[in-house]
Structure 1
Amino acid sequence: MREYTAPSVQAVAEDENMADVVWVNAERFGDTVSFRRHRDGSWYDVTAREFAAEVLAVAKGLMTSGIGKGDRVGLMSKTRYEWTLLDFAIWAAGAVSVPIYETSSAEQLHWILSDSGAKAVLVETAEHAATLEEVRGRLPELDNAWQIEGDKPAVSALSSLGADLADDQVHERRRSVRAADLATIVYTSGTTGRPKGVMLTHHNLLAEVRADINAFPQLMGAGNSLLLFLPLAHILARAIALTAFTSRATLGHTPDIKDLVADLGTFRPTFVVAVPRVFEKVYNGAKLKAHSEGKGKIFDAAEATAVAYSQANDSGGPGLGLRLKHAVFDKLVYTKLRAALGGRCIAAVSGGAPLGARLAHFFRGIGVPVFEGYGLTETSAAANVNTEGAFKVGTVGRPVAGTSVRIADDGEVLLSGDVVFSGYWNNEQATAEAIEDGWFRTGDLGELDDEGFLKITGRKKEIIVTAGGKNVAPSVLEDTLKANPLISQAMVVGDQRPFIAALLTVDEEFFPTWKSQRGKPESATVSELADDPDLLADMQAAVDEANKQVSQAESIRKFTILPRDFTEAGGEITPSLKLKRNVVSKNHANAIDSLYTR
């Protein structure tokens, strides 16, 4: 199959916008608990009515400060309640929100604020304010900056500022915004060059929200709850948050993944959204704990049973023996694994990178199916997703409602529909290169099966061509390697070289455990153990496992262990953990050369 279209479920009217839902919820379902805020170790309810009052107060402050319809407002913060509140307040004021990763450098912050022409910015901390101060002299269009934390918190400062403005003026402003108007400019983290500003309209976001509600009716609705921990500057987390709020599920925010297990235990969500790395860490952590407590054989048997049970559900269903084994392990092991997610979690949504078939089967087998999807910033998040009623492990599902997918002659995945962006801000050339005859060229390679399920096979620009002319998609190897608990990052190399090789980094969280297991000195560094036979053997085992996924000509022949991990600060990975291959290649040129000269 070369093309598949999923019909729309609910058309977006011309006079709709994303701010509408705040007052729809407040007027019709005012007592619904829309949020639970984390303060001083406890969660406090925020009703739909209370949230609308806060949004209105902040919007009045933004308008009083001089923010006009269509003006851009930057938002730089970790994931927290105020992020979502400010996002809706910006829309209620008729303005355009411009998310900025809270880890951004001064120059990255400058580029986004200057390119977008932002009139104001909201930052979270004193450190962010200091970063802004470094470049503010070069931002002539920036009139105002507010800080979420500190002596004059942004929410209360703006609420006080706009206290004398009539409520009707906000309502008149927000009602003047049309579906076709710009809602947000989201700067892609960019694995090459400067980030591009993706223009998403209210129509795009409304279509995404409705498509997601259609895809996940069992998750999106009153009585369900979602704990957000991914950065809201990432379109995946933001789209799911907007969908959950619209469907009247209860939202919680946690800014620090280090507190995630404790927060999951107290918030007890019914579903979560994460990138594959989080699911890998949950799985690896549980396995490691079981083995360290002498229960490794039980866990391994439970894991094998969960995978087999999930696989059997794809081929006629499990037999009596497998059902009995599964029931036993459900009491012994799976309930404890589900408890780690809060005990009420019935499903999860994953995107941003491939999950891996075994991990997908494992989580589905323990009773927490992970619905893997696919999309880009340019598609308002999900363009394809697996659902409860249409699930194929190893694929990213069918297109969401109102979206079409096509496979070009060269294998590139093309997308069109209501969720697809209109272009890049201030960049007509990039827009012309990305959109052709209404189809967005994703840059990803993929295949459609005869039921319309999409499988991503690689990245067009990342294809390695060896000296022998063999085309190799590195993602298959890299994703398998990174699923190993010992490995943090992996980059496959070999372009115009005689064979495929890899740069590997050690997972800093797992490394102390590995040293303890292998009897290595507690103080030993990765650099000191780079030639250690045990470390090399374990890395080779991971490489051997990855090589099973490809042909001999595509397999990794050599690897080297780097003394440090790739970092965002070093420019080697993006905030969403994607490799910047050109930077890594430059920073580690000697290590790459040594793979082919020794």
Structure 2
Amino acid sequence: MNTVSVAENGFDIADTEGLHSVVAGAALRHPERLALGGADGTRLTSAELDRRVRALASALLSRGVAPGDRVAILGRTTVEWALLDFAALAIGAVVVTVYPTSSQAQIEHILSDSGSAHFAAESDTDAERLRAAGADRVWLFAEVGEWSTGPEAPGLDRVLGAVRAADPAMIVYTSGTTGVAKGCVITHRNMFVSASNTVRRTGTLFEGGTTVLALPLAHVFGQTMLFACVFGGSGTHLLPAIPELVPALPVLRPTFLPMIPYGLEKIRKFCRTLLAAGEEDAAVERGLELLREGEIPAPTEHAVYAALGGRLRAVISGGASLDESTQGFYAGFGVQLLNCYGLTEAATAVTVNAPESNRFGTVGRPIPATEVGIAPDGEVLVRGPHVSPGYWGAAAGLPMADAEGWLRTGDLGELDADGYLTITGRRKEILVTSGGKNVAPTPLEDRVRLHPLVSNCMVVGDGRDFVTALVTLDPDQLARRRAADPALDPDAEIESAVAEANSLVSRAESIRAFRIVDGDFTVEEGLLTSSRKLRRAAIEKAYAADIAALYASRTVAR
């Protein structure tokens, strides 16, 4: 096995500490620095944040929340979500995260499996969904916000001091590309190690920086970035969702962003409206040249850079694969994309690139205190103090790590001589054609999805003679394009997108036929996970007739 053992020591917390040490530590180090801002204009300094968290922790204790109780939270990313998160963890309660896009069946599973006893929701609609899943009394975020301005309970420090690093902090239900979602236990130490060592690996990125966090706090990536920002001393503006990010960037002017490829693609598509013919291709070419030469992109005086806020230097990109042309696009306008890699079972942080040592095509080096290995079959293995101790509820009997402490990730990868990791595929997602050709579908899907008309794409071909693709269209983009050009031919447009994707691979791996299908792949329909990964088996079942027709007709992409 090819293993990298990280030489430098990582940040850790004492066995007698919990995650409240992150909030309290920030209040001591820089009390007057902006810690959290909200879409409603709320601005909390580090000292104010700690006072609010202590007050809310007191309110939770007075309402019967005890250490070890599970507190289920359903809502978009807001200051109230963060406050409730920090306060529940401070008193030793366990936060159970619920995506706003979860189906009713998923919510019922999470509440039942976790054994949640307390519930909070952003809106009346969200509260009703929790009640329909078995919750009784549901607190609204508006109530929670009011409690955070109340008095502090006598003896609070005794409760806070009883929380231990090994105690469960969160139960995060995995995306579930196959089967029922499993509840993954994240301890206080797991989260602290991931967040603090992400800050350490990325150098000066967080210290004194300004960022906008629009990632869902129901996802472990959003949680890790939230704690990393507070630990690292960043001024963090919280936005409910990624679609609200584009108009906010010129106002909030971040210096860095945590983001997922879906969001970067959405921003890129908006930026196209600011470009003249040929400018996008030129920017991609210019950016890729810089990245391949290992140079740090310099800011540009361009409308695109202004639309990004005029100060953005780097984006930590994780959660899924990212098309290299998107990396080139941002670099062409002066913004580095720092690819990272992780998974829920390791509190999301395993490797990350740093601004001064960003290596194009990789997902960076292991964060401090982390070991990464490559098994004989190419699977990426992870070991370290951020690896979860196990699953919860119905999945509690499933193994998390082997006898030597190695977590099997299910991803395939390679390590170079300097310890940089490259992800080459996912074991369960590699397609094998009837001719025996292994095909990695995600690079093809990523490239097709960049076309302005495309909403989503899934490559098909496992056990079949050749590779094909199902494509869904963005109805708003289609309407605009048809208004400008009534003769628009969607098939011809998608054929060009498929041809561009095919330029990335060999003939045997290329998409030989495609079909534009009705509807879209959505979380609500159970076709995407909450982190927007394709649920391939569910899509194949839902579109079985389209796939059959596709192979029967062979609408071939030339």
TM-score, normalised by the number of residues in structure 2: 0.93
2:113/2:394 contact within 8 Å kept: no
| 1:505 paired residue number | 472
CA separation of 1:302 and 1:445: change in aligned 2, threshold 3 A = closer
1:412/1:446 contact within 8 Å kept: yes
| 2:133 paired residue number | 135
- Give the Cα–Cα distance (whole angstroms) in 2 for the partners of residues 556 and 164 of structure 1: 62
| 2:16 paired residue number | 15
Q: CA deviation at 1:430?
A: 5.9
| 1:88 paired residue number | 86
| 2:250 paired residue number | 265
CA separation of 1:189 and 1:500: change in aligned 2, threshold 3 A = same
- Residue-by-residue CA offset, 1:246-295 (whole Å, 9 max, x unaligned): 122111111143432222222211111111122222223222442xxxx2
Q: CA deviation at 1:364?
A: 2.3
CA separation of 1:434 and 1:26: change in aligned 2, threshold 3 A = closer
Give runs of aligned pairs for residues 578-597 of structure 1, distance below 5 A.
578-597=533-552
| 1:496 paired residue number | 463
Q: CA deviation at 1:297?
A: 3.6
2:100/2:126 contact within 8 Å kept: yes
1:488/1:505 contact within 8 Å kept: yes
- Give the Cα–Cα distance (whole angstroms) in 1 for the partners of residues 447 and 162 of structure 2: 50
CA separation of 1:18 and 1:355: change in aligned 2, threshold 3 A = same
- Give the Cα–Cα distance (whole angstroms) in 2 for the partners of residues 271 and 102 of structure 1: 26
| 1:110 paired residue number | 108
1:310/1:365 contact within 8 Å kept: no
- Give the Cα–Cα distance (whole angstroms) in 1 for the partners of residues 42 and 538 of structure 2: 44
Structure 1 stretch displaced more, 547-556 or 346-355: 547-556
Q: CA deviation at 1:10?
A: 2.8
Q: CA deviation at 1:445?
A: 1.2
| 2:139 paired residue number | 146
1:99 alignment partner, one of 97, 100, 105: 97
| 1:251 paired residue number | 236
Give runs of aligned pairs for residues 90-489 of structure 1, distance below 5 A.
90-136=88-134, 144-149=137-142, 153-157=143-147, 163=151, 165-166=153-154, 168=155, 170-222=156-208, 224-290=209-275, 295-313=276-294, 330-331=300-301, 333=302, 336-427=303-394, 431-432=398-399, 435=402, 437-489=404-456
1:228/1:253 contact within 8 Å kept: yes
- Give the Cα–Cα distance (whole angstroms) in 1 for the partners of residues 228 and 234 of structure 2: 9
- Give the Cα–Cα distance (whole angstroms) in 2 for the partners of residues 54 and 484 of structure 1: 45
1:374/1:384 contact within 8 Å kept: yes
CA separation of 1:430 and 1:193: change in aligned 2, threshold 3 A = farther
Letter of the 1:251 counterpart: T
- Give the Cα–Cα distance (whole angstroms) in 2 for the partners of residues 76 and 344 of structure 1: 33
- Residue-by-residue CA offset, 1:574-596 (whole Å, 9 max, x unaligned): 12111111111111001111122
CA separation of 1:432 and 1:28: change in aligned 2, threshold 3 A = closer
- Residue-by-residue CA offset, 1:20-69 (whole Å, 9 max, x unaligned): 12222334432222122332xxx343122221221111111111122111
2:444/2:504 contact within 8 Å kept: yes
| 1:320 paired residue number | none
Name stretches of at least 5 consecutive residues in structure 1 with no aligned partner: 318-325, 521-531
- Give the Cα–Cα distance (whole angstroms) in 1 for the partners of residues 403 and 501 of structure 2: 36
Q: CA RMSD in A?
A: 2.2
- Give the Cα–Cα distance (whole angstroms) in 1 for the partners of residues 397 and 441 of structure 2: 25
Matched, 1:33 2:10: no
Give runs of aligned pairs for residues 508-523 of structure 1, distance below 5 A.
508-520=475-487
2:69/2:116 contact within 8 Å kept: yes
Q: CA deviation at 1:11?
A: 3.6
Letter of the 1:165 counterpart: A
- Give the Cα–Cα distance (whole angstroms) in 2 for the partners of residues 75 and 62 of structure 1: 14
Runs (4+) off by over 4 Å: 157-160, 427-430, 433-436
Name stretches of at least 5 consecutive residues in structure 2 with no aligned partner: 554-558
- Give the Cα–Cα distance (whole angstroms) in 1 for the partners of residues 341 and 53 of structure 2: 31
| 1:321 paired residue number | none
SS at match of 2:358: coil
- Residue-by-residue CA offset, 1:533-581 (whole Å, 9 max, x unaligned): x322221121122122222222111110012211111111112111111
1:72/1:120 contact within 8 Å kept: yes
Identity %: 38
| 1:75 paired residue number | 73
- Give the Cα–Cα distance (whole angstroms) in 1 for the partners of residues 279 and 203 of structure 2: 35
CA separation of 1:77 and 1:301: change in aligned 2, threshold 3 A = same
SS at match of 1:211: helix
SS at match of 2:399: helix
Q: CA deviation at 1:302?
A: 4.3
1:287/1:296 contact within 8 Å kept: no
